[in-house]
Structure 1
Amino acid sequence: MEPNLDAAMLKSWARVIDDGPFSSLCWGERICFDNPETLTLLGALSAWTDRVRLVTTVIVPQLHDPVMLAKALATGDMLSGGRLTVGLGVGGRHEDYESVGADTATQTMRGMAERVAIMKRVWAGEKVTDSVLPVGPPPVQQSGPRLVVGTIGPKTIRSASAWADGLAGTTLDLDVDREAELFDVARTAWSEAGKPTPHLATSFWFAIGDGDAARQQVHRHLLRYMNWIPSEFVDAMAPTTGWSGTEDDLLEVLRRFEDIGADEVHLIPTSSDIDQLKRVAEAVEVYA
């Protein structure tokens, strides 16, 4: 979500992530913004990486035809050798719905679940129309890619337990106790649905560095990314949103999330400077 990206920069980041100690490479979807298109980028990342899981955090299925989305994601799963995890969410911006002609009335958990059901039918090889052949290609992963729900609230978690394999949450203020409560909600909901223990992931914006410069980096990014919110509100939340600090500070935060049972923490960059990524890689490698 940083400005002035090009293929060389994206490829460099992908290669460092794939070569490093990381478990996943994640990227998100926006329409009225200058970020790369999610599904096109999936194809490139499948070619640029060999090891890490590729995680969409998140795609909004209501912005897409569900059959075409299922076909594109199955293609991505095939190209990546079965390394795709699909994070799904309802999205928080009406402008994205309106720009593609999507109905904002579908901006609900029910609207998302209906599209997930269609995609799962496609991935199962079921014909969705009276066609000669079903929609393909078949995904590498049996029954389709792993699905995780992008969420920050318990109601969404409970609703998604019927179809999701886990969470791709986010925390604005790194409130570990609140994340622990959400993880417990997920564990209970999945158990009541008779499903295996959910994959538990959360995320936060980060800037690694000393002093005020790192916090100012987060602030600049938030002003750009949260452009649908009045800047004075972003200014007010910026001091406590995301994380900034040194390598040792980061490891302490990661240990706190590990203690509450997080399977993954997705770090959201606030700069395209690849040195930020390399510093995190070095810190995490020591920790691992």
Structure 2
Amino acid sequence: MKLETEKKHEKYYVPAQSPWPIIGAVALFFVAVGAGLTVMQMGKPDSSGFYVLLAGVMLLILMLFGWFKNVIDESMSGRYSQQMNISFKQAMLWFIFSEVMFFMVFFGALFYARIFAVPWLGGAGNNAMTNELLWPAFEAVWPLVITPSGDTTQVMDWTGLPLINTVILLTSSVSLHIAHQALTAGRRVVLKGFMAVTVLLGLIFLILQMNEYIHAYHELGLTLQSGVYGNTFYLLTGFHGLHVTLGVILLSIILLRITKGHFDKNRHFAFQAAAWYWHFVDVVWLCLYLFVYVV
């Protein structure tokens, strides 16, 4: 009876205590503080916030590679059971769900400003007195290119770099899907090639987004001080850029593992998880491109 019970129930591996969670928490703290200081000190000669942000990013990358190495070693040594794989899938799905809610908050702020706040300031409904008291000369149009202080900015056009980046991300999703199909078919050369293409496209996206920010700051006058339009623009595109950066790191690790002969058609959840995350990032960008740039 005891032997039959042991056969029915798989062993569930419980890892030893790890330093990586606390290191990750410290890294995220540095990233948050550094990002805040960088924004506050923008344009000043003494910009210590950038170095705090850089330290946080480097520590975060160290944590990711270190933690992933431990998980990879445990997986390759055969310690994980089918139940463990189910736990990994559930955790990844909950993580992506939390990211969906994260972006919903910022999209909600954008929609609230456009659908409710802007018309109210323009005197819509029973808010004529609100318009006269708060902003008598206000015109209820979106995007808002004039701030309450009278400063003006220009709108980021949906063509040019934003359109190119949209094509790049859509292409990267296609190349990643082809790589996944190649993995399940056992075509390792095709798998390596299209994974490398996906990582390269992600890097190109980040480079072009940095160029877009430079153009916005220096030529359009679009900054975080450009009212609600500038705030929502940089919050949405900036946080998405951080997620693309994380996605590129994940895909780079997967590519490195592929070159070492890891994964087959039956055991490749790490590849699947990275692919899920990347497709999620692409869907967010499509929504962002439509509601921030086009509409």
Q: TM-score if structure 2 supplies the norm length?
A: 0.25
> Which structure has greater strand proportion?
1
> Which structure has greater helix proportion?
2
